[in-house]
Amino acid sequence: MKILALAFSLSLLLHQQCFLVQTEAWDGFIRTRGFHFMLNGSPYYANGFNAYWLMYVASDPSQRPKVSAAFREASSHGLTVARTWAFSDGGYRPLQYSPGSYNEQMFKGLDFVIAEARRYGIKLVLSLANNYENFGGKKQYVNWARSKGQYLTSDDDFFRNPVVKGFYKNHIRTVLNRYNTFTRVLYKNDPTIMAWELMNEPRCTSDPSGRTIQAWIMEMASHVKSIDRNHLLEAGLEGFYGQTTPQRKSLNPGFDIGTDFIANNRITGIDFATVHSYPDQWLTSANDQSQLSFLNNWLSFHIQDAQYLIRKPLLITEFGKSWKDPGFSPYLRDLLFNTVYYKVYSSAKRGGAAAGSLFWQLLSEGMDSFRDGYDIVLSQSPSTANLIAQQSHKLYQIRKIFGRMRNIDRWKRARAARRAQWSGRNKYKPIGN
């Protein structure tokens, strides 16, 4: 009965929002129409995960079975999108030794990740830089510029200095034009990649007005689109509100980091909005119930604003709860996952802007050195794994119903066209012989 009710509501939605009357390229690339993702002509919803470590681990051929195992486990639970790093700047086992100088072994690791994702039917969101020092980050770019004689006083000069921006633009160009040694497809031409991400959690605390980050996103979005028009692009934002909507700033968890959820995501080259949520990090003194209440409001307002103010899809690209928290239990983590999944599903079934969510983070068995508290090994977390699989099934059902309705509409239009054709022929049929 629930499926029938859902099908009826979606059929109304399909015709109200004109999903069926426009043609789409059936090339496997995810695109946007209004505030929805589209894949091969049908609305697309993502249930996925983060695994920042994929390239790093895959750069060692002996460790690649862990990458394959992660994709296999994810696929068996219906997960369809993975977010991971396409950067590692300086330091130990880098992708980029120095500006423009690349580690081929690390790049082959990323090649393998993309090839395995394709094999298991998983799309990728690839992040191009880090706000933090892990894997180099903006600090490494600034230090590289200093070594070239630039006088820079802050890591935030990453967003302002022309030399630093030139280094970063070159990295974008190199990654997007990479020839995959496994698939023999350029990254920019590979539909396995869902989207590029400019930076993981960009922050510019030296300019709380938001002007610096706004200008940087505009410049870099234009640069990406000048190279690659196939793929979607997002900025990597956590979702903090800024000067555009001062009435929303009270929702922020006490941070003023120079980003603006509304203004940044309205930029033409940005195809969809993102939001992160870590109530246990952001509200450390609050109890679990207060943290869940915050999460519920945080997601509700962002879904609403993505739909009515930004008019683009919203993807929740990071969320989780740490087992290192005092009083942690799998039940409390499941409550948080349930909250996120319910907000996504309830929006999706109404045709809203919430297009999916990616939990942080998935590990394979035997990866204890990568455990950060938020890690989930599906085979070792049965209750959470069950929730994940249920959400995948629910979103699949919505997509399946959209697909059926689209096929019915195509059949009706084809039948109408045939009738019109025959009517036209009979209209001019000669009388007599």
Task: State pLDDT tens for residues 183-213.
Answer: 999 999 999 999 999 999 999 999 999 999 9
Residue 418 C-alpha from the chain's centroid: 42
Asked whether the predicted pLDDT for residue 430 surpasses 80, the reply is no
Asked whether the predicted pLDDT for residue 15 surpasses 70, the reply is no
Do 120 and 75 contact (CB within 8 A), yes or no? yes
Asked whether the predicted pLDDT for residue 269 surpasses 90, the reply is yes
Q: With pLDDT > 70 as the criterion, what percentage of the chain qualifies?
A: 87
DSSP one-letter string for 13-31: HHHHTTSSSS----SS-EE
Both tokens of 378, joined, read 């599906």
3-state secondary structure of 142: helix
Residue 24 annotated among the catalytic residues of the structure: no
Instruction: pLDDT band for 21, please (50, 70, 90 cuts).
Output: very low
Q: Between 18 and 408, name the one with better pLDDT.
A: 408
Q: What is the pLDDT of residue 421?
A: 67
2-427: what CATH class? alpha beta
Q: What is the pLDDT of residue 26?
A: 80
Q: Of 91-100, 145-154, 253-262, 384-393, which range is least confident? A: 253-262
Both tokens of 154, joined, read 């802050």
Q: Between 428 and 218, name the one with better pLDDT.
A: 218
Instruction: pLDDT band for 20, please (50, 70, 90 cuts).
Output: very low
Q: What is the pLDDT of residue 254?
A: 80
Pairing mode, if any, of strands 36-39 and 314-319?
unpaired
Q: Of 41-45, 57-61, 159-163, 398-402, which range is least confident? A: 398-402
Asked whether the predicted pLDDT for residue 23 surpasses 60, the reply is no
Catalytic residue among 73, 197, 234, 318: 318
Both tokens of 62, joined, read 């002996």
Instruction: pLDDT band for 409, please (50, 70, 90 cuts).
Output: low
Query: H or E element: which one contains 344?
Result: helix 330-349
Asked whether the predicted pLDDT for residue 406 surpasses 70, the reply is no
Do 49 and 79 contact (CB within 8 A), yes or no? yes
Q: What is the pLDDT of residue 424?
A: 59
Q: What is the pLDDT of residue 423?
A: 65
Q: What is the mean pLDDT of the chain?
A: 92
Q: Looking up tokens 């690349």, which residue turns up?
A: 102
Instruction: pLDDT band for 405, please (50, 70, 90 cuts).
Output: low
**For the whole model, what pTM was predicted?**
0.91
Residue 101 C-alpha from the chain's centroid: 28
Instruction: pLDDT band for 433, please (50, 70, 90 cuts).
Output: very low
Q: What is the pLDDT of residue 6?
A: 58
* CA pair distance 156, 164, nearest whole angstrom: 10
Q: Of 4-18, 76-90, 221-235, 262-276, which range is least confident? A: 4-18
Asked whether the predicted pLDDT for residue 390 surpasses 60, the reply is yes
Instruction: pLDDT band for 54, please (50, 70, 90 cuts).
Output: very high
Instruction: pLDDT band for 387, please (50, 70, 90 cuts).
Output: very high
Q: Of 13-27, 162-176, 269-283, which range is least confident? A: 13-27
pLDDT digits (tens, 9 = 90+) for 320-344: 999 999 899 999 999 999 999 999 9
Asked whether the predicted pLDDT for residue 287 surpasses 80, the reply is yes
Q: What is the pLDDT of residue 400?
A: 84
Catalytic residue among 73, 116, 197, 201: 201
Q: What is the pLDDT of residue 420?
A: 64
Query: H or E element: which one contains 394?
Result: helix 382-427
Task: For 161-222, give the secondary structure using H, E and C.
Answer: CHHHHHHHHHHHHHHHCCECCCCCCEHHHCCCEEEEECCECCCCCCCCCCHHHHHHHHHHHH
Domain ranges of the chain: 2-427
Residue 201 annotated among the catalytic residues of the structure: yes
Q: What is the dihedral of CA 12, 16, 17, 21, to 10 degrees?
A: 90
Q: What is the pLDDT of residue 255?
A: 79
Asked whether the predicted pLDDT for residue 383 surpasses 80, the reply is yes
* CA pair distance 228, 188, nearest whole angstrom: 6
3-state secondary structure of 228: coil
CA distances from 401 to 13, 150, 355, 373 (A): 11, 57, 16, 37
**232 has which bridge partners?**
195
Instruction: pLDDT band for 41, please (50, 70, 90 cuts).
Output: confident
Do 90 and 140 contact (CB within 8 A), yes or no? yes
